[in-house]
Structure 1
Amino acid sequence: DLKSSTQLYQQIGDLNAFALVREHYGVLNTAILNQHGAIVKTIGDAIMATFNEPVEAVCAGLDMLRGLRQMNQASHHGDLILKIGIHRGAAISVTLNERIDYFGQTVNIAARVQSSAGGNEIYEIYLTEAIYRSPGVLELLKKYDCSIESAVLQLKGVEGQVKIYKVIGSN
């Protein structure tokens, strides 16, 4: 999800903002497909995707940040901030309108984690502990020279606190 996209439309106009959003979709789509993910749906300027392996989801997130950095360097409209949240778990899979969609608490937590991301850092991803502790994830983050900070969040509609890891991409 792009942070402050409503303001972007206000500042640079619908056509220019939509052109940036389309470019942003291209970056995200490429990152997801390159890591064997599948796009479930788009919601405004956000994309919900699924992956078979947590490490693929994290790698896609890092690829998204890299693509966004390149977009921002080429843009004359200021930096876009991408809010990425990654969680894993069981979900209910259903077919609606001839498309697969997912429901349940896992999806709710993923959405809340994503909406909490994108604070002051432009290039960050929020991972739940379930993702962070998954095989290969820590090794991947070390390879990409990311800094990692842990935090505890109280997510709306979620009982108890959720430990997350803020992954801040290297410059």
Structure 2
Amino acid sequence: MRIRHAAGAAALALMLALAGCSGSTTTGGDGASSSPPDSSPSAEPTDDGMSSDAALMLAESSLGTIVVDGEGMTVYMFDNDTQGTATSACTGQCLANWPIVTTDSATPVVDGVTGEVATIDSPDGKKQITLNGWPLYYFAGDSAAGDTAGQGVNDVWWVLSPAGEKIGG
């Protein structure tokens, strides 16, 4: 039993550390900690539940219809980014907690997403997908398709609607 409790405590500590990224443009976090709102892995892809060739598609969740990647992983926008920017404001430790959503294609394929999809160059030379000009990210604390644990973290991270608008908490 102690091993299970120790593993659970370690997992909880990791989640709290990951949630601490508030978005400073130089370090990616000011050390502030915030617990994400209660969110369960209840999102289900709106198609047959299988992975898609689309870079972005839709899923139903307790937050409504949200944008996910082709594997069903939730994608997020960052309030500290500037809409329409050519660069991400998430750098340093922030990127460890909020990895960018990338594509190999200059024109990412989408399924059901109605907002404008494009790409920007990331500092490491990858193509980061944008939706309505917002660079997209994953949350390291999401472990399965449909998880939305990043929603509302530090009041700067948000899931997106099919039109590319943030869904507030």
Which structure has more relative contact order (CA 8 Å, sep 6+)? It is: 2
Report the TM-score when normalising by structure 1: 0.29
